[in-house]
Structure 1
Amino acid sequence: MKSTSMNTTFARLVFGVGWVFSAGLASAQPKTDQPAALPLNDLSAFQKPGNNWRIVGDVSGDLNQKDVLKSTPGTGILANLPAKDGNIDLVSNFQHGDVDLDLDFLIAKGSNSGVYLQGRYEIQLLDSWGTKNPKAGDNGGIYERWDDSRPDGQKGYDGHPPRQNASRAPGLWQHLKISFQAPRFDASGKKIENARMLLVELNGVAIHENVELAGPTRGALGKDEVASGPLRIQGDHGPVAIRNIIIKNYDKPRPELMNLKYAVYKGRFDKEPDFSKLPPEAEGSSVILTANVTRIPNDFLIRYTGTLRVKEAGDYAFNLGAAGGGGMMKINNKTVITPGDRRQRGSITLAAGDVPFELLYAKMEDWAKPSIGLAVTGPGIREYIISDASGAMNGDPTDPILVDASTNTILRSFMDMPGYKNAQGRTLRVVHAVSVGSPEQVHYTYDMDNGALVQVWRGQFLDTTPMWHERGDGSSRPMGMVQRLGTPVLGLAKLSAPTAAWATDTTGSGFRPRGYVLDESDRPTFKYQTYGATVTDATRVLENGQGVRREINVQNPASDLFVRLAEGSTIAALENGTYIVDGKAYYVRIDDAGGATPAVRKVGDRQELIVPVKGKLVYSILF
């Protein structure tokens, strides 16, 4: 068969971007088979719900009272509000095997709940606020298995604690994301593969990856294991609220590559050759896509031809890795991945049946080990590797450069702020950022250009790989559960009236950073001058790692000088000088305003919490 010539040469792309596979198919996902939101207008999605379960419009917790969760009428939130007796778990009508599950949950102080995949494998939901070293029974943990026949102290086993504590405070919304793979059974019903938690993320932090589950956890619906089972939510331990339950089932058969034949051609190919005029160095059959069909280390091309058996019609997306070179792929005689595709991704709509398959891999760079990696996702099919699993699925991985904060630690770097844009529409970057880490595992970033606290986080400290790997870009990244505190702006500003616009830069402020000084525990106090005043700004971690307390002292403050404490979609006043910010994302508690009165004001579609400066201001961020 004579192939058509490529529009773009292999060589131009190799020297351009390197043809390295990037895991995930974010830019090439199929358009159909989208995840489904579980309706929460009533309880009809569940089997015989107990009286402890209700559909409500809003919920609120109390930082100071255990097991208190208040609700208001409405729909959209599933709430467990236990009574004195008769509290039962909630079991879904639908059954699932392999599944991705997303949900938000809000837990009361001291409360305890859990989410059981297939009713058998529990991810714990618990108020673990302030816990430094989480265990399997803490928030996000994979709960232990149980055997009464084992000796005391050993009855519980096989639990998996989260890698780090990524929990928020009680009364705040938290996000849980689970990718679950059901156990596998042969035709006789015998289990041939254990269930797995492929990925569990708590508040955006990966806390479990590829954890094998040898059997049901404690409190399961049954000791047996099944290919399909219900979702179950624990309801007999304490108050919890859940919303935005998103489910994506993966229950369709995967496509298969069949009758693969290969031919190896020696040489440096800068475009697709005329194969009818080119004798191969070697040829044969293979049961899988692999680069191991040749011992030539460099300057070669492998051509695979065969059949792709499609069992489920729909949209399919492919992700190709071709180490040290480039690749091209055709399905059903249509080009799906071309050498011009920067990310080596492509998609195609396929009917059920057998279709022709062709893949080319040309290797030109001697620094890379030859390898081919091909991943595919489709309707009801989770992304999986359809090639040799040792292929080029992640390029040449870089060992991360991580900074721990076993003692009080300071690191200066650039800091990107995802979700916030600069004037050019790009991700905002704080260029004079100082990140301060603590052994209590609560950390923060300070913007020295504005005298402002820009983010706090709980868990591990910094990933400095972007800054120090090879040439680097000067930036570092928080590794734990991050709470950003709004668009970085000048920390203190003069307002002609409480409704006046906040300053967008330091123009006219006379702002001058004066660095920082360290106390006896190596904790910094920042200094700067602004609007004729001298400012000292110290942030310290609260007891039990529940947040940070910030103390700002201003000498000679102007009468119209204000501090902006928070910005968010909503800011609501609670009791005792406490405010809850951005749809229950974090709390601000004003500890000492020096007699000044805080105000919540509307700015466009956002709100700000501001307070006049009277010389000293102390407030805490609880998250």
Structure 2
Amino acid sequence: MACSLMACLVFSGSTQSQSRDLSLQDLSSFQNPSKSWQVAANVGASLSEENKFTTSAGGGILVNQPTRKNKGQDLLTNFEHGDLDLELDYMMAKGSNSGIYLQGRYELQLADNWGTTERTAASNGGVYERWDESRPEGQKGYQGYAPRQNAGRAPGLWQHLKISFQAPRFDASGNKIENARLLLVELNGVTIQEDVELFGPTRGAISNDEKATGPLRLQGDHGAVAFRNIQVSHYSKPRPELKGLTYRVFKGKFEKEPKYDSLPPEAEGPQGPSNLLTSTLDNDAKQFLLRYTGTLVVKEPGEYTFNLNTPAGAGLIRVNKQEILPMKTWNGRGTAVLPAGEVPFELLYSKTMDWGTPALGLKIAGPGVREFLISEEILSENIDPILVDVKERPILRSFIDLPGNHRVTHAVSVGSPSQLHYTYDLDNGTIVQLWRGGFLDATPMWHERGDGSSKAIGSLQYFGKPTTTLARLASDQTAWIKDTTGTAFRPKGYQLDQNSEPTFLYHIYGTSVKDAIRIIENGKGLRRELSVQNPAAGLVARLVEGAKIEEIGKGLYLVDDRAYYVRVDDAAGAKPMVRTVAGRQELVVPVQSKLAYSILF
């Protein structure tokens, strides 16, 4: 789905910052680490034992594993931060609890919530409550924020987190004039918090006072947690400003820049004290050229990016007498290396399409400056999303678009109240995606004429380009088939049980197949059972393929850098095998009469 204005500004590719990757080869990035913290080369968690990690010697991963002997303590960075983007991977042990305190004061909760659907401020991705002992019982905690969705994953799996934080603002006398904000939090690719105002420190803060900067703090006294790939981007430099703006409006259609000497303006004047770029001027022409001139005050030297949006027309930007963005249609982006000081600034907006609504948007990013809007806000078309409630429609047929520009034209998406859902491809008899969170956004299918497609709302796991689950292989190194050609594949629809869960039916190689997929209790994963009648000779099932598949226990496998688990539940006596073909690994099992396995996610 398209990002919101806040998301587009915060995580735009043009954002420039003072970025650093925290070295995790040792603990030198942190203040006085307790003995519960260590660095490791690898880490894993048990699905059955609480608060337990296994580690291997080395570096690159920060691990906290408190014990009765080595009680954990919070870990603080050596640096302090104000405005910040933080991106990292983290892993929870079973039943564990931790948190990330921005400036040591505002906690984003980390927790193992696998198998739960409840969302509170104490859930994984929640903003923890503030606390006041003087309030009545049951009301001591307040101003906490639950995550929008339950996008977390199972213990022992890596989860990806992105946080964009805006520090509180203070005047020259040290009085707070603006609260801190979580501009955006994404967990496993899903927005779970957006533009959340933080009225004060949350419970457990290092201090209840607020300051412009503070250390990043990782909670270490509640349970086992691991971190890797910690990237910190600081935004501490002052923004450039426009001053002395004047404008001129020329009536007519201009597809290139005119000569101004012989062209009288329809309207002109100073922009006023706001110096805010806008297309809302004293002008009712449907086609016109708007020319702004003025001064850009640059307070930090370096490379700056200018992101211009000029709907229904084209735009041009000159900075420091350099044309950094030529006249382009609608959207354009340019960069310039600028000195500190005052430099000439010029912007053109040529509205050439008489049917469009005039609008002008300019965003600027630079060294230590998060991308910000220096113009009017361009409002996108407001379309009320058409969201499918799993309680009303647990099964939906639609097109589903997968990465790599592949469209599944006969897709069946199956939802569950446990908030775990999947999509099945009838054309190949296979699962193409699995996700946790909301069910489906059917806006692309049902808004106006629509295109027939729907989109998963939650945290997605794709399973590659669709092909059949079953195939006949001449040898262990025979490549898996790319399509159903030569298989005599025929889909036969599906049957629903008393819980409205489908069993898919098809024929392949003359074999009749029942493919029953059921959500595991509490949404911890799905269990798939293939029942075959008169199995063809050499019939093999491919359960999963990926860059890496490793067996970590009897019949239990980890796929692709701890993205999800596969558990072989019943192979009817056949032996699973991990094979490597063309640089990719596949978990395959010979099929006799029945095969059952689970995907834990």
Query: Which category describes the TM-score, using the shorter chain as reference length?
Result: over 0.9
Q: 1:64 to 1:408 in 2, by over 3 A?
A: farther
Q: Which residue of 2 aligns with 1:12?
A: none
Distance in 2 separating the partners of 1:449 and 1:82: 50
Q: What amino acid maps onto 1:380 in structure 2?
A: G
SS of the aligned residue for 1:343 comes to strand
- 1:319 maps to what in 2? 307
d(CA) in 1 for partners of 2:151, 2:562: 16
Question: What corresponds to 1:54 in structure 2?
Answer: 38
Distance 1:162 1:107, change over 3 A: same
The one-letter code matched in structure 2 to 1:310 is V
Give the drift of 1:437: 1.4
In the alignment, what sits opposite 1:340? 328
Name the residue aligned to 1:369: 357
| Letter of the structure 1 residue corresponding to residue 344 of structure 2 | P
Q: Is the 8 A contact 1:463 1:479 kept in 2?
A: yes
Provide closer, same or farther for how the CA distance between residues 334 and 128 of structure 1 changes in structure 2, counting only shifts above 3 A. same
1:23 CA displacement: 4.3
- Corresponding residue for residue 292 of structure 1: 280
- Rounded to whole Å, the distance in 2 between the matches of 1:149 and 1:266 is 66
Q: Is the 8 A contact 2:311 2:330 kept in 1?
A: no
Q: 2:555 aligns with which of 564, 577, 581?
A: 577
State the distance in 2 between where 1:258 and 1:372 align: 18
> Match for residue 588 of structure 2?
610
Q: Deviations over 1:158-186 (max 9, x none)?
A: 00000010000011111111000000111
1:474 corresponding residue in structure 2? 452
Give per-residue Cα distances to partners, 1:323-366, cap 9 Å, x unaligned: 33322221122222223356322222212121111112233445
Residues 33 and 196 (structure 1), Cα distance of their counterparts in 2 relative to 1, 3 Å cut: closer
Match of 1:4 in 2: none
2:17–2:369: 8 Å Cα contact kept in structure 1? no
User: For the structure 1 residues 28 and 175, does the alpha-carbon distance in structure 2 shift closer, same or farther, using more than 3 Å as the test?
Assistant: closer
Partner of 1:359: 347
- State how far apart, in whole Å, the 2-side matches of 1:320 and 1:398 are: 23
Task: Report the AA paired with residue 121 of structure 1.
Answer: Y
Q: 1:322: Cα distance to partner? A: 2.0
C-alpha displacement of 1:188:
0.9
Tell me, what secondary structure is at the counterpart of 1:291?
coil
User: What does residue 431 of structure 1 align with?
Assistant: 409
Identify the structure with bigger relative contact order (alpha carbons < 8 Å, sequence gap 6+). Answer: 1
User: Is this contact kept in 2: 1:514–1:527, CA < 8 A?
Assistant: yes
Tell me how far apart the structure 1 counterparts of residues 212 and 45 of structure 2 sit (CA, whole Å). 37
1:159 aligns with 2:144: yes
What's 2:298 paired with?
Answer: 310
1:160–1:27 Cα change, 3 Å: closer
1:294 deviation in Å? 1.9
Alignment partner of 1:404 out of 381, 389, 412 = 389
The residue that corresponds to 1:443 in the other structure is 421
Tell me how far apart the structure 1 counterparts of residues 348 and 6 of structure 2 sit (CA, whole Å).
15
User: What is the match of residue 381 of structure 1?
Assistant: 369
Letter in structure 2 aligned against 1:279: P
Which residue of structure 2 aligns with residue 100 of structure 1?
85
Q: Is this contact kept in 1: 2:267–2:283, CA < 8 A?
A: no
- Contact persistence 1:553–1:616 (CA under 8 A): yes
Query: Are residues 1:71 and 2:49 paired?
Result: no
- The alpha-carbon deviation at position 398 of structure 1 amounts to 3.5
- After superposition, the Cα gap between the structure-2 partners of 1:194 and 1:21, relative to the gap in structure 1 and judged at 3 Å, is closer
Residue 339 of structure 1: SS of its match in structure 2?
A: strand
Tell me which amino acid in the other structure corresponds to 2:570.
D
Deviates more, 1:459-468 or 1:195-204: 459-468
Report the CA distance shift for 1:576/1:21 in structure 2 as closer, same or farther (over 3 A).
closer
| Residues 280-332 of structure 1 deviation map (CA, whole Å, 9 limit, x = unaligned) | 22211112111222241622322111011111111111111223332222112
Q: Partners of 1:22 and 1:268 in 2: how far apart?
A: 34
Given that residues 102 and 245 in structure 1 are in contact (C-alpha distance below 8 angstroms), is that contact kept between their aligned partners in structure 2? yes
Secondary structure at the counterpart of residue 327 of structure 2: coil
Q: Secondary structure at the match of 1:323?
A: strand
TM-score normalised per structure 1: 0.91
Look up the SS of the partner of 1:101 in the other structure: strand
Q: Residue 418 of structure 2 aligns to a residue in which SS?
A: coil
Question: Which residue number in structure 1 is paired with residue 97 of structure 2?
Answer: 112
The CA distance in 2 between the partners of 1:336 and 1:617, in whole Å, is: 62
For 2:596 and 2:74, locate their aligned partners in 1 and report how far apart those are by CA, in whole Å. Answer: 44
Paired residue type of 1:409: P
Are the equivalent residues in 1 in contact too, given 2:542–2:586 (CA < 8 A)?
yes
Aligned to 1:417: 402
Residue 516, structure 1, aligned to residue 504, structure 2: no
Separation in 2 of the partners of 1:21 and 1:527? Answer: 45
- Give, in whole Å, the separation in 2 of the partners of 1:24 and 1:535: 50
Percent of aligned positions that are identical: 57
Cα distance change, pair 297–548 in 1 and its aligned pair in 2 (3 A):
farther
Contact 1:408-1:523 at 8 Å conserved across structures: no
Counterparts of 1:231 and 1:25 in 2: how far apart (Å)? 19
Look up the match of 1:203: 188
Residue equivalent to 1:541 = 519
Matched, 1:568 2:546: yes
Q: CA deviation at 1:417?
A: 2.1
CA distance in 2, matches of 1:202, 1:136: 15
Deviations 1:105-164 (A, max 9, x none): 110110000011111111101001122131110001011101111111111100000001
Name the stretch that deviates more: 291-300 or 54-63: 291-300
Between stretches 88-97 and 265-274, larger displacement belongs to: 265-274
Q: Which of 569, 577, 589 does residue 599 from structure 1 map onto?
A: 577
| Matched length | 593
For residues 294 and 322 of structure 1, do their structure 2 counterparts lie closer, same or farther at Cα, with a shift above 3 Å needed?
farther
Letter in 1 for 2:301: A
Q: Which residue of 2 aligns with 1:484?
A: 462
Distance 1:380 1:437, change over 3 A: same
Once structures 1 and 2 are overlaid, which stretch shifts more, 75-84 or 323-332? 323-332
RMSD of aligned Cα (Å)? 2.1
Partner-residue secondary structure (3-state), 1:338? strand
Matched, 1:44 2:28: yes
- Opposite residue 360 of structure 2, the aligned amino acid is I
Distance 2:167 2:181 in 1: 7
SS in 1 for 2:536: coil
Query: What is the TM-score with the length of structure 2 in the denominator?
Result: 0.95
Name stretches of at least 5 consecutive residues in structure 1 with no aligned partner. Answer: 1-19, 422-426
How far is the alpha carbon of 1:214 from its aligned partner? 0.3
One-letter identity of the residue aligned with 1:598: P
Q: C-alpha offsets along residues 565-623 of structure 1, whole Å, 9 cap, x if unaligned?
A: 11122222233422121111111112221221111111233211111111111111110
2:437 match: 459
Matched residues in 2 for 1:269 and 1:228: separation?
49
SS in 1 for 2:39: strand
The secondary structure found in structure 1 opposite 2:402 is strand
1:484-542 C-alpha deviation (Å, 9 max, x unpaired): 12342221000122332211121211111122222333322211111110111121111
